[in-house]
Structure 1
Amino acid sequence: MSITKIAAITGASVSTVARVLRDPEHKCHSMELKERILQTAREIGYVPNEAAKALKSGSAPKKIFHINILLTRVNSDETDPFYSEMLRLVEIEVRKSGGLIENIWRHAVFSSEKKTDFPEIEKSAAQMFHDAKQKHDGLILIGKCSQKGLKSLKRYEKNLISINRNSTTYEVD
C-alpha cells in the first residue's frame, strides 16, 4: 500500500501523510487527522519502502520489525488516559526505531489472577495470535500481566517486553 492510498482514504494530502508517517512527533493541524492517518496505515498494512529510502540516502536498507501490543488493564470498549498516552508513546518509539505496529489488543483478562481462570486467558491468547495477519517479531505488554497470562502468552511469543510498575518476577524484560 502506498502513501497515496492512505491520503485518499483519510482525505489528507500526500505530503501530510508522508510527514506523519515519517515523523511520529509531527505536529499535525488536527490530532484527529493524525490518528486517522496512523490507524489507516495500520489497517491497510502500510510498510515504508526501505529500499527507496536507502537509495535516496545512499545507505543500506535496514530491517523492518513487526510488533504487537497488548494493553492488559482495559478492554476494547474502555479507555484510560494513562494507558492511552503510554500506547501513543510506545508507538512513537517503535516507529522511530524502524518498526511497525501490527496489532493493538486490549484484554483486561490478562491483568488479574483473581478475576479469571486459565482457560479464559488461554482462549484470549489463542484468538489474538490466530487473528494476527503477519509474522511478528515481538509483543509489548502495557500494564500488569498475571502469572497465568504470562504463561499463556509465552506459548505464542518468545520476545516479550513488559511496561508496568508491578514486577513480572523477571520472567520478561
Structure 2
Amino acid sequence: MAVTIRDVARAAGVHVSTVSRTFSAPNLVKVDTRERVLAAAAELGYRPNQAARALTTGVTHNLGLIVADIANPFFPPLIKSAQSYARVRGYQVFVADTDEDPRAEEELISILAKQVDGVVLVSPRLSNAAIAGLSADLPFVVVNRNVKGLPAVLMDIGSGAATAVEHLAGLGHRRLMLLGGPRGSWTSEQMRRSAAAAAERSGVSLEITGPNAPTERGGRLAAAAVLEAGATGVIAYNDLMAIGTIEGLSGSGVEVPREVSVVGVDDTVAGRVARPKLTTIAMPTQEAGRSAVDLLLHAIDMPGGRGAAKTTLETSLVVRESTAPPPPLK
C-alpha cells in the first residue's frame, strides 16, 4: 500500500494540515515540528504528490520547451541537455514542436502556461512584440532570439558566418551565395548581416537568397539559384539545407567540392556522415540547453527581479570535405 499523508501525520503526531504545510510552505511550520514530520516521512518512504501540491502552491516543477521543428537534427541535443539538467534540479520538461508556424507557437505557449512554471522558447518565429506580450505573466527564456527585457541564450552565429566567408575567400572563391532561412529567424538575420560585412572586407561578392525552408528540400530547391548566380561558394542556413543543396547540385551534374564548395550550420550528425562530409559552423546546442534552463530557474526563483541576463556562446568552423579551392578559370 502506498504511504499517505495521513500515515505521516499519525507517525509524527501532528494534524494532516501540518504535514501539508511542511511540504508546501515549510517556513510556516515550527522547526522542531517540521523536522519531526520530515523524519517520519523519510522513515515511511513518503513522496508528496506533485500534482496535488501544484493545486495549492501554484508550483508545478514543470518547464515548457518549445522548438521550431523537432525533426531538425539541430534540436534533439539541445532538448536532451535541457531535460537532463532540469531533472537534476528537480524539474520535468514538456517538449512541444511548432513546425515553424508562429500561430502554433502562440497557441502552445498559451496551453503550456497553465501547466508549467516557465518556458524556454528556442528559435521562435513569433515577433519580439508578441513574445514580450506572452511573457508578461510567466518567466520566459529565449534561445537564438534577442528580445528586450527577456533573458536569452544566444549562439554567436554572426561570428560563425563571417568565419565561413573568410574560409571560402581564403580558398580563392570570389562569388559566394548565402542561403537564408525562414521568415522571422533571428539566426538568419544575424548570418546575413555578418556575412555581408565579411564579404566586403574580403573583397568578394555575396548574393543572399531567402526566405528558404530550413529543410533538405529547401536546399535542393535553392541549388537552382546557386547555378544561376554562378556562385562557387555557398553558405547554407543549416546542415539540412546544405545537404539538400549538395543533392540538388549533384542532380544537375555539378560536383561538390570540385566545382562548388558548400558550408552548413549546426554540426549535426547528418553533416558528419554525409558524402562529402560537411564543412559546417558548429553550434553549442548542449551548452545552450543547460544555460537556458539555468536562466529560467533563476527567473522562477526571483520573480520580482528576473532581469534580462544574456548568455552568448561561441561558435566555430569545422572544416571537412565539402569545401576546396574553386575550379580554375577557363
TM over 0.5: no
Higher RCO (CA < 8 A, seq sep 6+): 1
Q: Could you state the TM-score of these two structures normalised by the residue count of structure 2?
A: 0.25
TM-score normalised by the chain length of structure 1: 0.45
Q: Compare CA radii of gyration and give the structure with the larger one.
A: 2
